[in-house]
Structure 1
Amino acid sequence: MMYPDRQDFESPSQAGKRAHIAMPVEILKRSAELHAAAVSCMSGSAPTDHPRVISAYQCSLMSVEHAAGAIALLTIGMPNAAMALFRPQFETLIRGVWLLEAADEKWVRQYHEPPSEESSRAADMAPGVKLMFDELLKLEDPRVKGIVVHLDEYRAQSLRALSSLTHGGMHPMSRSGTGYPMTLVDNVVRCANGLVCYAAQMAALISTDAEANMVLVGGLHQDFRDCLPGMMDTA
């Protein structure tokens, strides 16, 4: 599909700065391939029939969907809209871990209720990221603790910036004029790809054949090392 000529809705000064918004094509291409491979893995990871597990599985799929949407938007030159999706990608993944491991049963049931006025009121009172982490960090189970600590480190390093990008703060406002540096886009995309792998891992671990599905997730790490955190080109 052809995207409309940006000249149709840009001022001349904005058009002159368009070069600053050029996206790193190769990592976007590889990221899209990673996301497709992750969804393929997750589609084959049938979740066990339990409300907590089904909630976590749905959250993992939604998290990857946010990441895939962000990559699609970056590819067509809409970085502000793309950046706004990385926080919900992260929060949806955290909510899945929380619903699986730490949420009170009333919340697990609530997330399975059909939309209604009552469920809308309940949604307004649902725990936010801080409270979910507070509850998750209390868990001593080593099966859970490792991933929660890693995700908490990501929160500490990135959440404030992601919030600004999501809610139209100063950061995206300034970038609208000057564009996003390649290094920033590269870093954000790699971190998002790491979260995609976490989502695929969660889906595998809660599936009816966790061992076989974790082998497939391990393949994601090997096949897409070039677009994951810590693997930046040295060229």
Structure 2
Amino acid sequence: MNQNIELVLQHSAALHTELDDLWGSFLLPSSDRGRVVAGYCSIVREHVLSQQRLLTFGFDVTAVTLVRPSFESLVRAIWSLKGASEEWIREFLTPPAPEVDARDETIKGPPVDSMLAVIAKHHPQWVHQSLSALKDETWKPMHSYVHGGIRPVLHVLLGCPDPQRVSLVLNGNGFFILATNVLQMACGGAPGRIAEIQRRFARCLPPQSSAGST
């Protein structure tokens, strides 16, 4: 991937401006399910923007570490849109009883593989295939970054080659595009604009990335 990291970040900033404008046009969903989806999509956006700002300051290890929470939040957004039961959504948003340890989750979601299997039943095949392929390729390396393994140590000692940094930016932008598409569906927004943005900013998106309806 022979792209200049500074140029990719510059194009990405323009892409983010367009996506932010699109987000500003959405009417926030009123349903509990919609609010959960919007929350997860917002987390994806924040992680992606944070990654790219970290890269500009040379904080590559922290930027790479954000790939896993970005990915998991995206999977949960898509799963919550059509796969989560109404009971799960209700329990997820129900405040814990006073006697419950405040550090506990209200209700835990299923494992990522289980969510991906449900996504395969409710969304186009390419959505499941792209998410599953990314998980298969990156899960063990991401585990090392999140839990303090050898990979981040080597990263600090040896540095991060520009192709890896460029790939990180492109994949993050792909996450942002998908999260925007999911949010648009949750908000009932009119389709079409995302695909047009994707075509204009193809140079800073993953190859063959799709913004089709999930």
Q: TM-score, normalised by structure 1?
A: 0.77
How far apart, in 1, do the equivalents of 2:124 and 2:102 lie? Answer: 29
Instruction: Name the aligned partner's letter for residue 142 of structure 2.
Output: L
Aligned residues: 203
Show the 5 A alignment for 1:12-91.
Answer: 24-91=5-72
Deviation at 1:126, TM superposition (A): 3.0
Cα root mean square deviation, aligned: 2.3
Deviation at 1:215, TM superposition (A): 2.5
Structure 1 residues 104 and 122: alpha-carbon distance in aligned structure 2, compared to 1, 3 A threshold: farther
How far apart, in 1, do the equivalents of 2:101 and 2:80 lie? Answer: 20
The one-character-per-residue Cα deviations of 1:145-184 (angstroms, maximum 9, x if unpaired) are 4322321222122222222222222111101011001111
Instruction: Name the aligned partner's letter for residue 80 of structure 2.
Output: L
Deviation at 1:48, TM superposition (A): 3.6
In the alignment, structure 1 segments of 5+ residues that lack a partner are 1-22
How far apart, in 1, do the equivalents of 2:32 and 2:141 lie? Answer: 33
**Greater shift after overlay, 89-98 or 28-37?**
28-37
- SS across alignment from 2:109: coil
The one-character-per-residue Cα deviations of 1:200-220 (angstroms, maximum 9, x if unpaired) are 111122223x32xx3321232
Deviation at 1:226, TM superposition (A): 1.1
In the alignment, structure 2 segments of 5+ residues that lack a partner are 209-214
How far apart, in 2, do the equivalents of 1:201 and 1:36 lie? Answer: 16
Deviation at 1:40, TM superposition (A): 2.2
Bigger CA radius of gyration: 1
Q: Is the 8 A contact 2:75 2:112 kept in 1?
A: yes
Show the 5 A alignment for 1:155-170.
Answer: 155-170=135-150
Q: Residue 189 of structure 1 corresponds to which residue in structure 2?
A: 169
Q: Is the 8 A contact 2:91 2:107 kept in 1?
A: no
How far apart, in 1, do the equivalents of 2:124 and 2:32 lie? Answer: 18
**Greater shift after overlay, 37-46 or 89-98?**
37-46
The one of 179, 187, 195 aligned to 1:207: 187
- SS across alignment from 1:111: helix
Q: Is the 8 A contact 1:136 1:148 kept in 2?
A: yes
Query: Does the alignment pair 1:107 with 2:84?
Result: no
Q: Residue 196 of structure 2 corresponds to which residue in structure 1?
A: 219
Deviation at 1:114, TM superposition (A): 4.2
Deviation at 1:109, TM superposition (A): 1.4
How far apart, in 2, do the equivalents of 1:122 and 1:106 lie? Answer: 15
**Greater shift after overlay, 180-189 or 152-161?**
152-161
**Greater shift after overlay, 108-117 or 63-72?**
108-117
Q: TM-score, normalised by structure 2?
A: 0.84
Q: Is the 8 A contact 2:92 2:107 kept in 1?
A: no
Q: Residue 114 of structure 2 corresponds to which residue in structure 1?
A: 131
Q: Residue 154 of structure 1 corresponds to which residue in structure 2?
A: 134
